[in-house]
Structure 1
Amino acid sequence: MVKAVVLGASGGIGQPLSLLLKASPLIDELALYDVVNTPGVTADLSHISSVAKISGYLPKEDGLKNALTGADIVVIPAGIPRKPGMTRDDLFKINAGIVRDLAKGIAEFSPKAFTLVISNPVNSTVPIAAEVFKAAGVFDPKRLFGVTTLDVVRAETFTQEYSGQKDPSKATVPVIGGHSGETIVPLFSKVSPSFDIPADKYEALVKRVQFGGDEVVAAKDGAGSATLSMAYAGFRFSEAVIRASKGEKGVVEPTFVYLPGVPGGDAIAQATGVDFFSTPVELGPSGVEKAINVLDGVTEREQKLLAACVEGLKGNIEKGVEFVKNPPPK
């Protein structure tokens, strides 16, 4: 039996993510939680003829407790979306408080669940969740993930003409670092099966992977951000975690993790100088079984990208930790 929970299920990411999870044969029970509209979303999805039994909750009548109790995997897309001209960092003040409060609920009602954070800015919200779990005495770094899969999905899609894959997801394109702008580092030198990026296309391709979200915000004329592709990416990573938890071997996905707390993470932490970093990890029944170091042998161009990434990440991580340790006045 696998119980999955979506916190923020009524939003732009939450609804399509909940749809995909409801359709998954790997999930037996799906609980939805949000501050508004959850009963309607739940009723709509309940008509789908798939395995998962579905329930929906609002904050009243212990809704968060009822949603989380017995959870195996909790996915958090809750928060406000990015608006035109707004950076992921601008979202921080609002989304940080939302993630902090939801993490407190997880710590109390489902401390052993795999926690997948989608809420932006991931570079700061994952450290926030970690600090909440530490304070509650339930932090297991192997079970806390920042979902950076959208960066990988974009890299696979944008390089399809060079990889030659009919299904672009069949190409492995490592994307490491963080989940915003320059902290996103696609390692085109490490693609598998190998293919070459033309020198005159390289810089634009890197920028497109790093700032692909801006394309969507602009195309939606300020009416939204990358909700559907993010829901797909969140679902893809959720299924990977579930498949590995059921014993499937060889499941490897990049994700933003607390390096000192996962096997193999110390070497990456020493090389980068940061404690949180997105890197390919091998998943297993207990979460992260091994962080895979792909830093050796990167090109000079990629080293420059990494330097900019680490500089940005340090501030993002500190901001998240500081938010929990010294909360802003209400």
Structure 2
Amino acid sequence: MVKVTVCGAAGGIGQPLSLLLKLNQNVDELSLFDVVNVPGVGADLSHICSDSKTESFVPSSKEDKSALANSLKGSDLVIIPAGVPRKPGMTRDDLFNINASIVRDLAQGIAENAPKAFVLIISNPVNSTVPIVAETLKKNGVFNPQKLFGVTTLDIVRANTFISQLYAKETKPSDFNINVIGGHSGETIVPLYSLGNSKSYYEKLSQDDQKALIHRVQFGGDEVVQAKNGAGSATLSMAYAGYRLAESILKSFKESSVVECTFLNLDESIKGAKEAKQLINGLDFFSLPVKLGVNGIEEVHYQVLQQISDDEKKLLQVAIDQLTKNIEKGVAFIKN
């Protein structure tokens, strides 16, 4: 029996994410938590004739912690898209003061009620919220670095899609699986087009077109924010991206050799983490391809850092500089 809990299930990301999970054959129980509107979402999903059981939980008051506790108990996987969305002119860091408290409180609930669960963080700014969750779990003595994932999969989805659009007559997005490393905001996002089957297509582009492609991947979220004209940010594509990582984790319960990029804590108990840290100025958190297994992250594929182009090395240094501040901000939020 596999139980998945979505915290923030009634939101713009939470609803389509919950729909995708409801359709997944590996999910036996789908638990939906939110502070508003989630009973309606749960009732709606419960009419779908897939085999998973759906249950909804909403607090009766601000002081009510039982709804969160009951939604989390027995969970194998917890996904957190909760928080406020970006609006025009806002950066992910602008969201910090609001979303940091939300994520901290949910992490505390996980520590108390589902300490062994895999935890996926979608709530922005991911570069800071993942350290917040890590520090909260550490405070409670239940932190397992193998089971904490920052969802950066949307950057990969965009990287695949955007290069395919440049070669629409020759390729389709599913032809690519670009490694995207670093973080999940602006210039911390480093797509590695110089590796794998994207290399030949990327090298055909002019230098200006290469820069434009990189910039589009790094700031693709702005396209959606502007196109929605203040009515929201990337919700459907983010839900798909979160689901893709969740699906890979669910597969890894039964299969070996599942690899995905994720923003993880490079704890030296994980194979390859020490080597990775040595190549990125000792950062404690970074997005890299990892091998997944039944116990979570089994190995960090740090070797990609040794294979990147000179231009990507320059992008990497910018990412490291910015990530240092983002990570410190999240850690300090809990410690202070």
Q: Does TM-score exceed 0.5, indicating one fold? A: yes
Task: Report the AA paired with residue 77 of structure 1.
Answer: P
Q: In the alignment, is the contact (CA less than 8 A) between 2:253 and 2:293 conserved in 1?
A: yes
1:1-330 superposed matches below 5 A: 1-60=1-60, 62-160=66-164, 161-162=166-167, 167-192=172-197, 194-197=199-202, 198-199=205-206, 200-246=208-254, 248-261=255-268, 262-273=270-281, 274-293=283-302, 294-326=304-336
Task: Report the AA paired with residue 126 of structure 1.
Answer: V
Count of matched residue positions in the alignment of Structure 1 and Structure 2? 325
Q: List alignment gaps of at least 5 residues for structure 2.
A: none
1:9-51 superposed Cα distances (whole Å, 9 cap, x missing partner): 0001000100110111111100000000010000011000101
**Shift of residue 299, structure 1, vs aligned partner:** 1.1
SS at match of 1:295: helix
**Shift of residue 169, structure 1, vs aligned partner:** 2.7
Q: In the alignment, is the contact (CA less than 8 A) between 1:260 and 1:269 conserved in 2?
A: no
My pick for the range that moved more, 29-38 or 259-268, is: 259-268
**Shift of residue 297, structure 1, vs aligned partner:** 2.5
Whole-Å separation in 2 of the counterparts to 1:245 and 1:165? 36
Whole-Å separation in 1 of the counterparts to 2:79 and 2:175? 25
Alpha carbon RMSD of aligned pairs, Å?
Answer: 1.3
Whole-Å separation in 2 of the counterparts to 1:146 and 1:14? 16
Structure 1 segments of 4 or more deviating over 3 A? 161-167
The verdict on how the C-alpha distance between 1:138 and 1:263 changes in structure 2, with shifts beyond 3 A counting, is same
TM-score (norm 1): 0.96
Q: In the alignment, is the contact (CA less than 8 A) between 1:115 and 1:145 conserved in 2?
A: yes
The verdict on how the C-alpha distance between 1:220 and 1:163 changes in structure 2, with shifts beyond 3 A counting, is closer
My pick for the range that moved more, 206-215 or 170-179, is: 170-179
Q: In the alignment, is the contact (CA less than 8 A) between 1:254 and 1:279 conserved in 2?
A: yes
The verdict on how the C-alpha distance between 1:165 and 1:226 changes in structure 2, with shifts beyond 3 A counting, is farther
Q: In the alignment, is the contact (CA less than 8 A) between 2:119 and 2:149 conserved in 1?
A: yes
Whole-Å separation in 2 of the counterparts to 1:155 and 1:162? 13
Whole-Å separation in 1 of the counterparts to 2:300 and 2:155? 18
